[in-house]
Amino acid sequence: MKKKVLVTLLTAAMTASMLAGCGSSPAPAETTPAPAASSEAAPEESKEVAESTPAETPAAAEDDGEVVELEFWSWWSSEARKPYVLEMVDGFNASQSKYHVTYVDIPWGDIFTKNIAQIAAGNPCDIMANNLEEVAFRAEQGQVEPLDAYLTDDVKGAFYEQYLDVCTGDDGSIYALPLSVDTRGIYYNKAHFEEAGINPEDIQTWDDLTEAARKLDKKNGDTWERVGFIPTLGNGGVDTWMLNANNGPAWFDPETCEAKVNTDTNKEAFKWVREQIEVYGMDEFNELSAAFSSGMQDPFASGVISMLVHTSAYVSSLKQNAPDLEYGVIPLPEFKEGNGHLANGGGFVLEIPKGAKCPEGSYEFIKYVTSKETQDFLSTSLGDFSARNDFDDSTEFFKNPITKEIAKCLEETNTLVVPNALKGYQDIINPLVEEGTLGLKSTDEALDNAQKALEDFIANNQ
């Protein structure tokens, strides 16, 4: 009988705790108290930021005592970035008294699904970092609030037009402001260049690049001691080279959204890409690809590769992995003389998720972060480039020679925006194009297949 009582009690306790557990789990995330995290940032430096932007928002002075709590979501959690993000948030909190922003970092692999789930549940964060390329797509999907009601001409006028265009939806409204932008260039090893007697400024066309690569190559018997250049390693795919060769979108016509994969230009350019891989053979290529994708080795940092296409963010990675490496950056060369040095770039924006409880407050934060002072602070501390057009060489950031070289690449950069009508087209053509890159098919055949597939894709999705 005693046993029975015990069983009954245990069961009741379990049931009760289960029910309690169910009840508390859907509790809104809002109730999170202002975290201690933001107080971690170095107090002196945050004051500096606050002082350099004296009372930017006088409207914030309507002290009715109610401080609105806002959440800012992004994925920056590393030691190299998070302290500065926290400092920036503290700077905003100190600059006015109406809003209090809390920084929440969520891993890259989770943040976007979490964000959309929160939007669907009607309880999103207040400010969200997201990618620049898909602002218009998210706008079309109804995931973001338009900023038009708050934007003033002085704010709009401070950004390069091309980036503001990318932040504009199909309906003409602006849905985000750029936080940072990036570009691609060719990083080169200065010691290798000196040894081979190459002047980086002489590399102006693809032919010049090929020539330089052959001078840099070093082979000992069957093994490559030094690899001059492979165009698809690092952070430059076939896409980068095709964009450069076309001086604009390569796979489709951005106006008519028609497929133009197997054009003569693309065929010639793609053949060149494949030839550069063939110089070294598939074994060497596979080895180097595996080294890069595991993330544990960096053949450029260790001096195995002399030239590598990468984004502007590579600077901070090299700072960590190879602090002593002497390198420079040159723009992508021209496919043919006079064709242009265009590279594909991207970036990040801040936006207000649909249904955020206080869009005015969210906007105040976005405005603060994209202001000249804060952008300068972020550039100097994180090495990010700003989309603002009012920077000149006088700032500390732009005095760095590498920064200057990358800024030159940034001048000829195109943000590859996929028209909403073609969303998902890369999934279709990339595997087919890759068959050409890997030599499973001839480059022409691969492009013909991709052309056919893209035409079908467009027809299927109308």
Partner 1 sequence: MFGAILTKLGIKKRQGRENVYGYIFILPWLIGLLAFTLGPMIFSFITSFADYNMLKINFVGLKNYTHMFTRDQLFWKALKNTAVYAVMNIPLITAGGVIVAVILNKSVFGLRTFRTIYYLPSIMVGVGTYFLWMLLLNPANGIVNSALALIGIKGPAWLTDPAWTKPAIVLMHVWGLGGQMLLYLARLQSIPQDYYEAASLDGASGLKKFTKITVPLLSPIIFYNLTIGIIGAFQVFQEGYIFSGGDGKPAGSLLFYNLHLWNQAFKNFKTGYANAMCWFLFALVMIMTLINQKVSKKWVYEEDGSND
Residue 355 in 3-state DSSP?
A: coil
Rounded to 5 degrees, φ, ψ at 258 are: -100, 150
Instruction: Return the closest-CA partner of residue 175 out of 158, 195, 150.
Output: 150
CB of 350 to partner 1, least distance (A): 20
Say if residues 347 and 179 touch (Cβ distance below 8 Å). yes
Interface with partner 1, residue 59, by CB under 8 A: no
Site string for partner 1, 239-268 (x = CB under 8 A): ------------------------------
For residues 199 and 215, give the distance between their C-alpha atoms in angstroms, rounded to a whole number: 12
Asked if 19 touches partner 1 (CB under 8 A), the answer is yes
CB-CB neighbours of 44 under 10 Å = 7
> How many Å apart are CA 241 and CA 271, to the nearest integer?
11
Residue 112 engages partner 1 in binding (rule: CB under 8 A)? yes
Asked if residue 168 lies in contact with residue 175, where contact means CB atoms within 8 angstroms, the answer is yes
Number of residues in contact with partner 1 under rule CB under 8 A: 50
Contacts of 169 (CB under 8 A, 6+ apart): 135, 136, 139, 140, 146, 175
Whether 70 and 29 have beta carbons less than 8 Å apart is answered as no
**Cα–Cα distance measured from residue 278 to residue 285, given in angstroms and rounded to the nearest whole number:** 9
Binding flag, residue 75, partner 1 (CB under 8 A): no
In the complex, the smallest distance separating the C-beta of residue 286 from partner 1, rounded to whole angstroms, is 3
- Reading the block at residue 52, the tokens are 């350099």
Tell me which of 54, 58, 295, 323 binds partner 1, using CB under 8 A.
295
The phi, psi pair for 416, rounded to 5°, reads -75, 100
Tokens of 222: 């069957």
Of the pair 101, 453, the CB lying nearest partner 1 is at 453
Q: Please, which residues bridge with residue 205 across strands?
A: 334
If one asks whether residue 362 binds partner 1 (CB under 8 A), the answer comes out as no
* Residue 304 interacting with partner 1 (CB under 8 A): no
Query: Near partner 1 by CB under 8 A, which window of 14-22, 85-93, 395-403, 406-414?
Result: 14-22
* Contact between 456 and partner 1 per CB under 8 A: yes
Q: Site for partner 1 (CB under 8 A): which residue of 34, 59, 120, 421?
A: 120
Q: Is 289 or 442 the residue whose CB approaches partner 1 more closely?
A: 289
- Please report whether residue 16 would count as binding partner 1 according to CB under 8 A: no
Q: Any contact of residue 296 with partner 1 (CB under 8 A)?
A: yes
Q: What is the DSSP string of 371-405?
A: SHHHHHHHHHHH-PBP-BS---TTSHHHHSHHHHH
The reply on whether position 36 binds partner 1 by CB under 8 A is no
| Binding status of residue 3 toward partner 1 by CB under 8 A | no
| List 195, 287, 445, 448, residue binding partner 1 (CB under 8 A) | 287
- State yes or no: residue 106 binds partner 1 (CB under 8 A): no
Is 116 near partner 1 (CB under 8 A)?
yes
Collapsing DSSP states into helix, strand and coil, what is residue 353? strand
Q: Which helix (H) or strand (E) is 264 found in, with range? A: helix 264-294
Least Å from the CB of residue 440 to partner 1: 7
Residue indicated by tokens 């006079």: 338
> Which CB, 391 or 457, lies closer to partner 1?
457
Q: β-pairing, 176-181 with 127-131?
A: unpaired
Identify each DSSP E strand in 154-304 by its residue range. 176-181, 184-189, 218-220, 223-229
Distance (Å, whole) CA 158 – CA 148: 15
Q: Which stretch binds partner 1 (CB under 8 A): 111-119, 254-262, 313-321, 392-400?
A: 111-119
Position among 289, 317, 321, 380 found at the interface with partner 1 (CB under 8 A): 289
Distance between CA 99 and CA 71 in Å, rounded? 10
The one segment of 3-11, 68-76, 242-250, 398-406 that binds partner 1 by CB under 8 A: 3-11
Please give the structure tokens belonging to residue 335: 């496919």
Q: Candidates 74-82, 327-335, 341-349, 425-433 — which segment interacts with partner 1 by CB under 8 A?
A: 425-433
455 lines the binding site for partner 1 (CB under 8 A):
no
- 460 near partner 1, rule: CB under 8 A: yes
Residue 286 binds partner 1, judged by CB under 8 A: yes
Q: Which positions lie near partner 1, rule CB under 8 A?
A: 4-5, 7-8, 11-12, 14-15, 18-19, 22, 112-113, 116-117, 119-120, 141-143, 282-283, 285-287, 289-291, 293-296, 354, 423-424, 426-428, 430-432, 434-435, 438, 440, 453, 456-457, 460-461
